[in-house]
Amino acid sequence: MVLLVRDVRLYHLFDGVYSINQRSCVCLMKTASFHILRVGLAVTFLWIGILIFREPEAWGGLLQPWAAELILGSLKTAMIGTALLDIAIGIFLLINVFTWLAALLGALHLVIVLATTGITAVTVRDIGLLAAAVALVVSAWPDRFGFGGREDK
């Protein structure tokens, strides 16, 4: 998994330099934590996208009746669109491109999932995923938009 994580500075621990000052340790933890969270969310979004794509009707059955009635097309088509969105979010998070946007879309998507399915034994974990996505949005938010986030990625 470390090979997928770009810009992680863990290799400094293995080159014989053990007198790392406290400031660089804080930066190391922030950088490593960011990438671990990013890759973990990426794998989660990719995995759920594949699962939904394989059985769209089964996943569509989790929707509340009022939410299913709001779908304009077929439930299967809507769920395939959801699967494609999840896969796209996962890819952008994995390759660390437009990370802030992918995390923002992921967070908004998770809010919609929780609103349209309710909090059940299946979706209760989405609360944690939502918190993780919001943490990535805050960490990866481009400086040009204000708010004090990371570099523009």
pLDDT tens digits for the chain (153 residues)? 444 444 444 434 343 443 444 444 434 346 888 999 999 999 999 999 999 999 999 999 999 999 999 999 999 999 999 999 999 999 999 999 999 999 999 999 999 999 999 998 888 999 999 999 999 998 888 876 665 545 444
The string of DSSP letters for 27-85 reads HHHHHHHHHHHHHHHHHHHHHHHHHHHH-HHHHHTTS-HHHHHT-SS-HHHHHHHHHHH
pLDDT, residue 10, reads: 43
pLDDT, residue 122, reads: 82
Q: Provide the residue ranges of all domains of the chain, joining segments of one domain with +.
A: 37-145
Other CB atoms within a 10 A radius of the CB of residue 135 amount to 17
Radius of gyration, alpha carbons of the chain: 18
Contact status, residue 106 vs residue 89, Cβ threshold 8 Å: yes
